[in-house]
Amino acid sequence: MNNEETFYQAMRRQGVTRRSFLKYCSLAATSLGLGAGMAPKIAWALENKPRIPVVWIHGLECTCCTESFIRSAHPLAKDVILSLISLDYDDTLMAAAGTQAEEVFEDIITQYNGKYILAVEGNPPLGEQGMFCISSGRPFIEKLKRAAAGASAIIAWGTCASWGCVQAA
Query: For 13-42, what is the mean pLDDT?
Result: 92
Question: Which band of pLDDT confidence, cut at 50, 70 and 90, is reported for residue 1?
Answer: very low
pLDDT digits (tens, 9 = 90+) for 45-90: 999 988 889 999 999 888 888 888 888 887 888 888 877 788 999 9
The answer to whether the CB of 121 falls within 8 A of the CB of 161 is: yes
pLDDT digits (tens, 9 = 90+) for 79-107: 888 777 889 999 888 999 999 999 999 99
Residues 65 and 138 in one domain: yes
> Residue 125 is part of which domain span?
52-168
**Model pLDDT, residue 3:** 54
Residues 41 and 121 in one domain: no
The phi and psi torsions of 102 (rounded to 5 degrees) equal -70, -30
Assign residue 98 the CATH number of its domain. 3.40.50.700
- Alpha-carbon span 57 to 167, nearest angstrom: 17
